Amino acid sequence: MRDPGSFRDPSAYVFSSGDRIFRAVTDEAWHNFQLFRSSGAYEEMKARGWIIATEEDGAPHPEHGDRRLFEHPKLPFVSYPYEWPFSLLKRAALLHLDIQLRALDFGFALSDASAYNVQFTGIKPIFIDTTSFVPYREGDYWAGHRQFVEQFVNPLLLRALFGVSANAWCRGALEGLPTSDVARLIGPLRRWLTPNVLVNITLPDLLQRRAWRSDDPGTSPSKPLPKTALRFMLQRLRDWISRLAPRRDESAWQDYDADNSYSPEDEERKRAFVAHFSLSTRPSRTCDVGCNTGYYAEVLLQSGARSVVGFDSDTGALELAVSRATMAQLNFLPLLSDAANPSPAQGWAERERSGLRERVNADAMLALAIVHHLAIARNIPLASAVEWLMSLAPRGVIEFVPKSDPMVERMLRLRADIFADYGKEQFEAAIIRHGRIARMLELSPGGRALYEYEREIS
Amino acid sequence: MARHNMIAAWAGRARRGSDPVQILAGIVLCLCALAPTEAYAYLDPGTGSFALQGLIAGVAGGVLSIRTYWRRIGGLFRRKTSSETWSGSWPERPPSGGDA
């Protein structure tokens, strides 16, 4: 099946066959890759874990217009830049620049700078578009500069300069955040006096507008760009991005681990319940809905789970989750996603980027302390919330938080309790509608409770 | 198409000036430009970004030619005064700026 998002570069397209991923390439793309491989760049970058492995099948395939094929290993999970927390977008940006700089040493350039060409295994970025390496010729301009700025730099800058997370904007603007818009947001002092902003945002924006206004908008490269100048541009960008940090880091949930409504004993029992679930099911792909700083993702991974993709809507907690995954070297990918509004299928023909549910191919699911956020804070009917969570994986653990819980009491403090259907019985009934309760643990009498479910195979 | 305009600009400049270096550079650029590049042209690089890189190219070109002349002058000067330490050969490429 052809990947509906793989259409921009006519020299190659991605398709899957069962569990295998292929790329059908033209003769020119094939030849370029042979050059790339024979230069030694491919082996080096693959050994560093920078680019995805590529097996070649040199026979022309009539069913693909006589194109030849590359095969790549299937990624455990496909994520999109608008789901990456700040530090993952930053890692992806740095990897892109590192690859460009190193490719230049071998005489190659990248034909574009799409952030969608970077994927993550755990929190480690990997470049997946092996056909975008093209021979570099002295004097060539960096064709991907605008795209790099709009897809990587502008979202990072919004967070670094203003403390504003740009994920929602990026989700709506698949081509990246327009430089003209970002230039308008940055004040005149910073726009003209910060050299990196001046070079990458202010001047391109100004020149672009001038070109539009002029009679001859087709301003073409009139001077060759020396390789040293190109390298300088890339290196300056790299230095700049590596210094960028979120401006404001405090958030509602990042202190949750240290400041929650559990007693140490309850927390230990909760931990043991999750560990038991992981040990008994040994899932290969777990999704953790409301992963917060990744405390329970770590418990899962220490107890037999092989990989965890976590979702949370709190940017500060996600930064801590990335730190945790880095420190403990966890196969854990924390992503920004609001459970009440997961990424939709979108882009060209509404199929270019697939929805979250379509990409989650989990065999286990963890949803701790999230149901009340969906059912009470977001008014989602309890049965509907449970059904959606259970649809993510055939087995999992869901925590129920009753109305008597201090967190729920706080949620209801300023609003009327319109949630007559929110209760333990209704919660259990909702599970039983789609499967069975395999195990249950009440953390305190009448208080929070953990449910392990097994979905009915329909 | 952009590349063809680039050739025209260079050729025009080379005709106006009689400097053989410029003519040679023009020829080299023409040869480069004739190589196929349209295959990678699926990405719109953005007028603003290319205009900016044109500016950088201009500045870099100026810096490099100043550096080259400076080296030549420096080289002449050094040849005369430091003959005792002269190793007998210059490196094939200067250690920096040699990519241009």
Give yes or no for residue A19 having a pLDDT over 60: yes
Per-residue confidence band for B98, with pLDDT thresholds at 50, 70 and 90: very low
Is there a domain that residue B96 lies in? no
- Higher pLDDT: A126 or A407? It is A126
Per-residue confidence band for B8, with pLDDT thresholds at 50, 70 and 90: very low
Q: Does B27 touch chain A (CB under 8 A)?
A: no
What is the per-residue pLDDT across A86-97, written as a single tens digit (0 to 9) for each? 999 999 999 999
Is there a domain that residue B90 lies in? no
Q: Which residues contact B73 (CB under 8 A, 6 or more apart)?
A: none
Q: Which residues contact A154 (CB under 8 A, 6 or more apart)?
A: A166, A176, A177, A178, A179, A182, A201
Question: Mean pLDDT over all residues of chain B?
Answer: 59
B33 and B10 in a common domain: yes
Q: Does A407 touch chain B (CB under 8 A)?
A: no
Tokens of B90: 């210059």
Helices A295-302 and A315-327, packing angle to 10 deg? 30
Ranking A307-311, A366-370, B60-64 by mean pLDDT, the lowest is B60-64
B57 and B30 in a common domain: no
Terminal-residue alpha carbon distance, chain A = 25
Give yes or no for residue A273 having a pLDDT over 80: yes
Per-residue confidence band for A58, with pLDDT thresholds at 50, 70 and 90: confident
B61 and B30 in a common domain: no
Is there a domain that residue B45 lies in? no
Q: Does B48 touch chain A (CB under 8 A)?
A: yes
Is there a domain that residue B91 lies in? no
To the nearest whole Å, the CA of B3 is away from the closest chain A CA by 7
B31 and B1 in a common domain: yes
B69-98 residues touching A, CB cutoff 8 A? 96-97
pLDDT, position A259 = 57
Chain B residues closer than 8 Å to A211 by CB: 47-48, 51
Length of chain A: 458
B28 and B60 in a common domain: no
Q: Which residue in B has a C-alpha nearest to residue A220's C-alpha?
A: B2
- Mean pLDDT of the region B8-29: 47
B65 and B33 in a common domain: no
How far is Cα A196 from Cα A202, in angstroms, rounded to an integer? 9
* Contact predicate A292/A262, CB 8 Å: no
Is there a domain that residue B46 lies in? no
Is there a domain that residue B64 lies in? yes
Question: Mean pLDDT over all residues of chain A?
Answer: 93
Domain encompassing residue B23: 1-37
Reported ipTM: 0.80
Q: Quick check: helix, strand or coil at residue A452? A: strand
- Higher pLDDT: A67 or B89? It is A67
pLDDT, position A279 = 97
How far is Cα A87 from Cα A324, in angstroms, rounded to an integer? 12
* Cβ pairs bridging A and B (under 8 Å): 139
What is the per-residue pLDDT across A375-403, written as a single tens digit (0 to 9) for each? 999 999 999 999 999 999 999 999 999 99
Place of tokens 């400076």: B70
Q: Into how many domains does chain B fold?
A: 2
B31 and B2 in a common domain: yes
